[in-house]
Amino acid sequence: MPVTSVVTDPESLTLTVIADFTVPVRRLWDAYLDPRQIERFWGPPQYPSTFLRHDGYPGGRTDYQMTGPEGDKSCGYWEWISVDAPNSFEVRDGFADETGKPSTELPSMRMVFDFAETALGSRLTTTTYFTSLEELEQLRAMGMEEGLQAAMQQIDAVVEDLASFAAGRGTELQLIGANQARASRIIRGSVEQVWRAHHDAELLRRWQLGPDGWTMPVCEVATVPGQRYRNEWVDADGGQRFGFTGELLEVSAPHRAVTTEAMVTPDDPDGAQSPSTRNELTLTPVEGGTLLSLLITYPDTDTREMILATGMVDGMETSYRRLEDEILAAG
């Protein structure tokens, strides 16, 4: 069992959990920074979690929900305060409703995660800081100690599963809830390189082409919230043409961008007749490169299934391979 110590200190208003693992620090760090991995162990086994947002940079945010056996949901958030990869990170952890709005009835707390190398692998020290003894006792009564220990006991299986999260696996898709999907891929390049490749028109025209035989004659990039972007593709014969347009809603370079997206065609040049999605792009440095996570929110389940059935993921993977082989490999 990885948990070696649990100490509650009423004087310093802290709860400290120490756990030891037989994997390198970087492997343990990535398990916490990768939403696909942390949602496999954050929370008790009977309440599996889903991470809808997981930024991993100062000023960023995490939104997650845990679903019980009866379908009941418990939602929480992190506000990222500091990150010193792969040594430590600090967040403010709190409860939220299903819209992500912080609870006004339950307290939030400061949590510091310290990662250290040991003779056998790595040690994680998680220290929670409370603002009052009443808050400490309230969270203990709600089972916070047991929840942290339950989470730690599930990490071993995740960190030992190297193949499922390694670079080179290609683009993977995860269905979330009734109307969301998350595409994930580790791209062999730095966060700054991958960000630039997504926001430089000249580079986009070279790699974001999907299957061979297509070009991108129109590439208008949005850089400021409120601006609109537009990309259009045409096949080699010029007989087929389509594109996407939308608005940049949020941006925090080089980590996160949120846009709307609607398809445009010669018959629908403004995309008014196409269903619109919300796309949340997050870039996180991990071993092997940059983890790209794209959370897509569709209007409904039917629209999600219709769009995914077009081979969207295969087209993304072809483009990402081209990005690695022709852009990033050349520097």
- CATH number for the domain spanning 68: value is 3.30.530.20
- Whether residues 300 and 324 share a domain: the answer is yes
Bridging pattern class, strands 180-187 and 256-264: unpaired
- Whether residues 141 and 11 share a domain: the answer is yes
pLDDT tens, residue order, the chain (331 aa):
588 888 999 999 999 999 999 999 999 999 999 999 999 999 888 888 999 999 999 999 999 999 989 888 899 999 999 999 999 999 999 999 888 899 888 889 999 999 999 999 999 999 999 999 999 999 888 888 887 888 788 898 898 887 788 888 999 999 999 999 999 999 999 999 999 999 999 999 999 998 899 999 999 999 999 999 999 999 988 889 999 999 999 999 999 999 999 999 999 999 898 999 999 999 999 999 999 999 999 999 999 999 999 999 999 999 999 999 998 987 7
- Whether residues 77 and 112 share a domain: the answer is yes
Scanning the structure block, which residue is given the tokens 């310093």? 12
- Whether residues 157 and 294 share a domain: the answer is no
Number of independent structural domains in the chain: 2
Indicate the residue among 110, 131, 161 that finishes a domain.
161
Scanning the structure block, which residue is given the tokens 């162990």? 41
Residue 166 domain-assigned (yes or no): no
- Whether residues 229 and 294 share a domain: the answer is yes
Amino acid at 327: I
Q: Are 284 and 56 spatial neighbours (Cβ–Cβ below 8 Å)?
A: yes
Dihedral of CA 38/43/44/49: which sign?
negative
Question: Tokens standing for 248?
Answer: 């940049």
Indicate the residue among 108, 126, 161 that finishes a domain.
161
Q: Give the domain extent around 242.
A: 172-328
Indicate the residue among 142, 161, 180 that finishes a domain.
161
Residue 74 domain-assigned (yes or no): yes
Residue 298 domain-assigned (yes or no): yes
Question: Tokens standing for 198?
Answer: 């997504």
CA dist 20 and 29 (Å) reads 13
